[in-house]
Amino acid sequence: MTQDELKTLVGQAALKYVVPGEIIGVGTGSTVNKFIDALATIKDQIRGAVSSSVASTERLRALGIPVFDANEVAELAVYVDGADEIDGQGHMVKGGGAALTREKIVAAQSRQFICIADESKLVRTLGAFPLPVEVIPMATQRLVRQFAQMGGQARLRLKDGVPLVTDNGQHILDVTGLSISDPRGFELEVSQWPGVVTVGVFALQKADVCLLGTTQGVKTLTF
Ligand code: 5RP
């Protein structure tokens, strides 16, 4: 099975966590796009979605699924999103699609985080995937030096040769050279650095369930 087929498989498998009559939290990325496509087939059974990015909002609306502002909804039963890495405890690295801040916000207002991923994303220790960090532009170079002090090499993410601008008008640093053995401690520490908007370690908002696409089918990991 190709990686794309595995993504389709887990995107469809996530439908069984959708609570009829509810508003669903929807993440961002190529795996979530498969989930959105699957969600469109049962759109009459849900009220709509709260989305974590402009890209997902556009896709949801194009398929006829109403999108609510996060402020209009107190709590969501379920949030479905992908990951760049997930470990055996449900801690994740996210933000490959630059949507980490809104993803963390929607995850925080959801009772259950369902991660959908192909098996290439399962790791023993987080850190091999360059860690995305959304930053306030004026803090970029100071944060590059701060990551260097912990052994990380931080690079400003570019798009078409210029700094990528997130949905929130900020920039992204991608940090290599880290081995994140204490995801919760790491998230708590880096989140407090002045100029950091959001660090792409999801340990406080970790997954409750991971639907992992494998060549043997969908494996359900619960944490
Ligand atoms: C976007 C994310 C995505 O969930 C993550 O990058 C995985 O994406 P994909 O499903 O395309 O591999 O965090 O900010």
State residue 68's pLDDT score: 98
Could you read off the pLDDT of 56-97 as tens digits, one per residue? 999 999 999 999 999 999 999 999 999 999 999 999 999 999
Q: Which of 103, 119, 187, 189 is catalytic?
A: 103
Q: How, if at all, do strands 209-214 and 110-118 pair?
A: parallel
Indicate whether residue 81 lines ligand 1 (CB < 6 A): yes
Residue written as tokens 């997130």? 166
Indicate whether residue 200 lines ligand 1 (CB < 6 A): no
Q: Is the whole model's pTM more than 0.85, yes or no? A: yes
Indicate whether residue 100 lines ligand 1 (CB < 6 A): yes
**Looking at ligand 1, which residue's alpha carbon is closest to its atom 5?**
83
Q: Supply the mean pLDDT for the chain.
A: 97
Residue 69: burial class (beta carbons within 10 Å; 0-12, 13-18, 19+):
exposed
Q: How would residue 211 be classed by pLDDT, with cut points 50, 70 and 90?
A: very high
Q: CA 95, CA 21: separation in Å to the nearest integer?
A: 29
Residue written as tokens 């994140």? 180
User: SS in 3 state form for 116-137?
Assistant: EEEHHHECCCECCCCEEEEECH
C-alpha 155 – ligand 1 centre gap (Å): 19
CB 135 within 8 A of CB 197: yes
Q: What is the dihedral of CA 205, 28, 141, 121, to 10 degrees?
A: 70
State residue 100's pLDDT score: 98
Q: How would residue 116 be classed by pLDDT, with cut points 50, 70 and 90?
A: very high
State residue 21's pLDDT score: 96
State residue 49's pLDDT score: 98
Indicate whether residue 99 lines ligand 1 (CB < 6 A): yes
Could you read off the pLDDT of 135-147 as tens digits, one per residue? 999 999 999 999 9
Which of 9, 51, 84, 134 maximizes ligand 1 atoms within 8 Å of its Cβ, making it the mutation to test the pocket? 84
Closest atom of ligand 1 to 7 CA is: 10
Q: Is 103 a catalytic residue?
A: yes
C-alpha 98 – ligand 1 centre gap (Å): 8
**Looking at ligand 1, which residue's alpha carbon is closest to its atom 8?**
29
CB 35 within 8 A of CB 80: yes
Phi, psi of 178 (to 5 degrees): -100, 145
State residue 136's pLDDT score: 98
State residue 191's pLDDT score: 98
Indicate whether residue 98 lines ligand 1 (CB < 6 A): yes
CB 211 within 8 A of CB 115: yes
Q: In Å, how far are 12, 40, 110, 167 from 60, measured between CA atoms?
A: 15, 8, 19, 17
Q: How would residue 37 be classed by pLDDT, with cut points 50, 70 and 90?
A: very high
Q: How would residue 111 be classed by pLDDT, with cut points 50, 70 and 90?
A: very high
